[in-house]
Structure 1
């Protein structure tokens, strides 16, 4: 009985002290240091400059070429943040790619920028407008993370007619931020890959691209100290 009284006294003493330490703290704000985000949609490339892009295909699979055409998806909406900031960029053209297959079999088409396109922040999704011409070919995007690791993500099948916006979320396995070096964040887009369906690798294939966009978290960039040093030497 005496031991029970001692334990009860200790509990009565500890509980009020713990409750007192929580006074003045809003529990709803706990953990916000790791949950703050500033998501923004940005236009990565509008495919206005055909000289920035090039196309490749193994010579034993077929021939591939590209051209710039005037046009745009009618359902494409402007980015509100760009309009609010008064940003006006040319947006009159799309990129057309034509492949002529030699025979049925495995085939790939690479659409590659002249240099990898850097997207800062923590990128959540990538999207691009495509005319797929209702083939069972598959569009993939080729990426590189902050540490130089590459990944190829499937954006979707091209088995639809007219313009369609294909979107892919970026997995958490892509390391987009270095905890030691704040200047090192985001991804680099190295190109697109069209993986052709073997049963449809015949004749000519046409595909068109417009407005590559990203939704990215710019919070890590905004909290970066202005007087920080750049580790790029």
Structure 2
């Protein structure tokens, strides 16, 4: 009887995974709200201006993968209002292009990884990135780590579309992004993107482009931190 119950629970977990949503349908103010005080801010985590910061990998038995920087970007991308009001103008001319040349069909994953994990402070509600998917049935996932070292891989969406599209995913409340005993310990670390390739479409060449990785994060825990507090990093 215990074994049957375990199978039922496992089935429920499979049927209801954390799935990506349309970015316009996600309300960050309602994600993981456990306090009446929030200060949500959209921030640009990385604009993919420096190709030397990123690396790409895939199994050599399946093919070769390479990357480079290109000028361009989505025309529909809107600037971050807080940056406009503050007069911040960071360079935003380039995108990251990735090309995979497959040797044969088979299950394969392409890893797009920063040279070091990208830290996002606060309590992160959503992550989003602009992508050109080239209308392949591959799936884009983001690999993250919370403040306690727990890792998670979240599905951002299918790449079966043409042109630029903004993919977004909410972060589950099961991630431990804050330690209430130590105010300096909060947020997540982004460890990379994973392209899970559809086995029937792992032939020829595949091109994908990335631009402007953003997060919506609650900065209230950071703003209330005392400036003269001690750092527990020794």
Indicate the TM-score class for this superposition, using the shorter chain for normalisation: 0.7 to 0.9
TM-score by length of 1: 0.86
3-state SS, counterpart of residue 179 of structure 2: coil
Q: Does the alignment pair 1:57 with 2:43?
A: no
1:81 aligns with 2:85: no
In the alignment, does 2:101 pair up with 1:100? yes
- Offset, 1:35: 1.6
Give the 3 Å change call, closer, same or farther, for CA 72–228 of structure 1 in structure 2: same
Q: Deviations over 1:44-75 (max 9, x none)?
A: 00000000000000111110000100001000
Q: Could you say what secondary structure the match of 2:82 adopts?
A: helix
CA distance change for structure 1 residues 229 and 207 in 2, over 3 Å: closer, same or farther?
same
Q: Which position in structure 1 is the counterpart of 2:110? A: 109
* Alignment of 1:151 onto 2:152: yes
TM-score between both structures, scaled by the size of structure 2: 0.85
- Larger Rg belongs to: 1
Please say if 1:227 is aligned against 2:217: no
C-alpha separation in 1, matches of 2:222 and 2:185: 10
What displacement does 1:103 show?
0.7
More divergent stretch after superposition (43-52 vs 33-42): 33-42
Q: Which SS does the other structure have where 2:186 is aligned?
A: coil
Question: Does the alignment pair 1:123 with 2:117?
Answer: no
Secondary structure at 2:95 match in 1? strand
Q: Which runs of 4+ in 1 moved over 2 A?
A: none
Q: For 1:142 and 1:224, how far apart are their aligned partners in 2?
A: 28
- Show the counterpart of 1:8: none
1:86 deviates by: 1.0
Aligned residue in 2 for 1:184:
185
In the alignment of these two chains, the number of paired residues is: 202
DSSP 3-state at the match of 1:84: helix
Structure 2 unaligned blocks of 5 or more = 1-32
Could you give the per-residue CA deviations for residues 180-218 of structure 1, whole angstroms, max 9, x where no partner exists? 110000000000000000000000000000000000000
* Alignment match, 1:135: 136
**1:34 Cα deviation from its structure 2 partner:** 2.4
Structure 1 unmatched ranges of 5 or more? 1-31
